[in-house]
A and B are shown apart, each in its own frame.
Chain A
Amino acid sequence: MDAPVEKDMMTRSSEIPMRVINSAKASEVVNTIKRIKRSYRQIRTENVFKKTLVIIGLVMVILVFGILLTLVVESLPSIKALGLKYLWGKTWDPVQDVYGAFPFLLGTLLTSFLALIISIPFSFAVAVFLGEYYPKGWLSDFLKNTVELIAAVPSVIYGFWGLAVLVPIVRSFESKIGVEPVGVGIFSSSLILAVMIIPYAASLGRSMIQMVPSQLKEGAYSLGATRWEVIRSVIFPYTKSGLFAGVLLSLGRALGETMAVTMVIGNTSIIPKSIFAPGNTMASVIANQFTEADKPIYVSALIELGLVLFLVTVIINVIGKKIISRFTNE
């Protein structure tokens, strides 16, 4: 497509500015011709560059569909062999070739929602503090940076600290309230997770709260509302979809979090009897058992967990992002 353009245009004398021809200096004409040849090279490079960009755009789509496809293909043996009862099956016993994912689904839901319940009041408090009470100043800078730091600490370090410090504390707490003092388990994982996911809902909530138009708040103040009443009856209703999106994104994080949970959840494949019992989440089973899975169906069953995890987090994230973009575009 590029070649004909070039030939066509090389024949045009008018490529050389009239001024140059008039001045009739040979060297200038030569220079100009050189320059024009360069330009044809440039045009070719330009086309290559544009195509490269499109290819990169395409690669992103291919990457995501590739991930999905890989997960589906690799979990097909398990899907075929076990069908839907895979999801309801209550026993996971690879030695007997019994694969029921229910204990892990339950473990994931328990840890994530428990973590969410614990962390939301704190997230929202941070959001309100930074978004409404003290949007500026060194104190809010400090809080903002510290909360961001929570997200920066690697999860393996949370796990290690949890194992070394939190688990013994939980264990003594458990013996005090009279449950079996194992320490590791759903409860410890939820505590660690709760800390880890605070920043997501907090930072999103903060930016949403800062977007509340000041006329709305002033309207309420002018009617004699107190600060808290403005927060409750103006800010919260206005930002509720945004706050909800923040909670969703936090949930997405909690569901997929692997290392910290793997290290403190106890790695047991039986259905947890209480929130203090050890268990496993989908992510932690994969982390714990993938390299030791010795049978194709075992591997495939683990990947199916990954597939479920992938689909759930994709749905949660897409919904969350949609809510955010709708909120910010209004």
Chain B
Amino acid sequence: MESTIIRSKNFNAYFGENHVVKNVNIEIPKNHVIAVMGPSGCGKTTYLRCINRMHELIPGATCNGEMVLNDEDVYSMHPIFVRLKIGMVFQRPNPFPNLSIYDNVIAGYKLNGIKLPKGERDKVVEQSLSRAALWKEVKDSLHKKGTFLSGGQQQRLCIARAIAMEPEVLLLDEPTSALDPISTSSVEDLLHELKTNYTLIIVTHNMQQAARVSDRTAFFYMGELVEYDDTKKMFTNPRDNRTQNYITGRFS
């Protein structure tokens, strides 16, 4: 019925000796929103960064196991291809401070040296900003620096920047944790819209958010994938004790 886009098998990640992601098995269906949940320090970010091979950029960080994108092993592809197909949005908005809003959106083309004709460039910018629900707010100030925007706008700019590259999967690492409630809800609305075109994997340790935005939820605890199920089922009827404790707030 639904095709799997990302599959990990016996996947492990380490920081030096520190075993941070332990033997994770997961299958992520196309065009769904997957929430990754768990207490802080349980390896959510690390796992996410393994998917598009950002993990290995940290000195001393290693990983093993199978990570497959569309039947192809991510770790036998060149990282550049992986990252072109799997976009990422970070916890803290990080637009390029030396570029305008316009250039930030097409940064993936511009900085990669991919030349687009002006018309197409404008189209990509408008389309990406509209999809990121930012177009109306910034269309008159496209040539201002991206760092002049508010935090929430910056984060949506970063989303626009990621989707401008037309990735197949978009990874979001607590995209709203640095934002105010209003910006948070506009980013959440956005996730719903994006689902039709992309597969979204969103890390959050906000349970309401997971419940609101996701189709499926993965619960991590101490580096292990404890439970992975339909979001509704997970929140109403968790199988594992630790999940139960977490969603009833008995951990923190």
Q: Do A and B come from one complex?
A: yes
Interface residues, chain A, with chain B CB atoms under 8 Å away: 5, 9, 12, 14-15, 17-19, 35-36, 38-39, 42-43, 46
The minimal Cβ–Cβ distance linking B79 to chain A, given in whole angstroms, is: 9
Which residues of B from 193 to 214 have beta carbons under 8 Å from A?
197
- B78–A5 CB distance below 8 A: yes
The CA-CA distance from A234 to B78 in the complex, in Å, is: 57
* Residues of A with C-beta under 8 A to B114: 35, 38
* Residues of A with C-beta under 8 A to B80: 39, 42-43, 46
The CA-CA distance from A72 to B197 in the complex, in Å, is: 69
B248 at the A/B interface (Cβ < 8 Å)? no
* Residues of A with C-beta under 8 A to B81: 9, 15, 36, 39
A9 partner, pick from B78, B84, B168, beta carbons under 8 A: B78
Give A34's nearest chain B residue, CB to CB. B114
- B113–A38 CB distance below 8 A: yes
* Residues of B with C-beta under 8 A to A38: 112-114
Which residues of B from 31 to 76 have beta carbons under 8 Å from A?
70-72
B85 at the A/B interface (Cβ < 8 Å)? yes
A19 partner, pick from B71, B78, B113, B168, beta carbons under 8 A: B168
B182 at the A/B interface (Cβ < 8 Å)? no
Give B167's nearest chain A residue, CB to CB. A17
B77 at the A/B interface (Cβ < 8 Å)? yes
The CA-CA distance from A92 to B146 in the complex, in Å, is: 70
The 5 closest A-B pairs by CB, nearest first: A14-B72, A14-B70, A43-B78, A39-B80, A17-B168
B166 at the A/B interface (Cβ < 8 Å)? yes
* Residues of A with C-beta under 8 A to B84: 39
The CA-CA distance from A35 to B115 in the complex, in Å, is: 10
B interface bracket (residues with beta carbon within 8 Å of A): 10 to 19
- B112–A9 CB distance below 8 A: no
Interface residues, chain B, with chain A CB atoms under 8 Å away: 70-72, 77-78, 80-81, 84-85, 112-114, 166, 168, 197
From known contacts A19-B166, A38-B114, A42-B112, infer whether A9 and B85 are also in contact, taking CB-CB under 8 Å: no
Tell me what chain A mostly uses at the interface: helix, strand, loop, or mixed. Answer: helix
* Residues of A with C-beta under 8 A to B113: 38, 42
The CA-CA distance from A46 to B112 in the complex, in Å, is: 12
Give A15's nearest chain B residue, CB to CB. B81
Could you show 19 A-B contacts with beta carbons less than 8 Å apart? Answer: A9-B77, A9-B78, A12-B72, A14-B70, A14-B72, A15-B81, A17-B166, A18-B70, A19-B166, A19-B197, A35-B114, A38-B112, A38-B113, A39-B81, A42-B80, A42-B112, A42-B113, A43-B78, A46-B80
* Residues of B with C-beta under 8 A to A46: 80
The CA-CA distance from A46 to B78 in the complex, in Å, is: 12
Give A8's nearest chain B residue, CB to CB. B76
A14 partner, pick from B71, B78, B112, B166, beta carbons under 8 A: B71
The CA-CA distance from A15 to B81 in the complex, in Å, is: 8
Give B84's nearest chain A residue, CB to CB. A39
* Residues of B with C-beta under 8 A to A19: 166, 168, 197
Give B85's nearest chain A residue, CB to CB. A17
Taking A17-B166, A46-B80 as given, write out 5 further A-B residue pairs in contact, using a Cβ cutoff of 8 Å, ordered by the A residue number: A12-B72, A14-B70, A14-B72, A17-B168, A39-B84
Give A36's nearest chain B residue, CB to CB. B81
The minimal Cβ–Cβ distance linking B49 to chain A, given in whole angstroms, is: 20
The CA-CA distance from A43 to B78 in the complex, in Å, is: 8
The minimal Cβ–Cβ distance linking B75 to chain A, given in whole angstroms, is: 13
The minimal Cβ–Cβ distance linking A157 to chain B, given in whole angstroms, is: 40
* Residues of B with C-beta under 8 A to A35: 114
* Residues of A with C-beta under 8 A to B77: 9
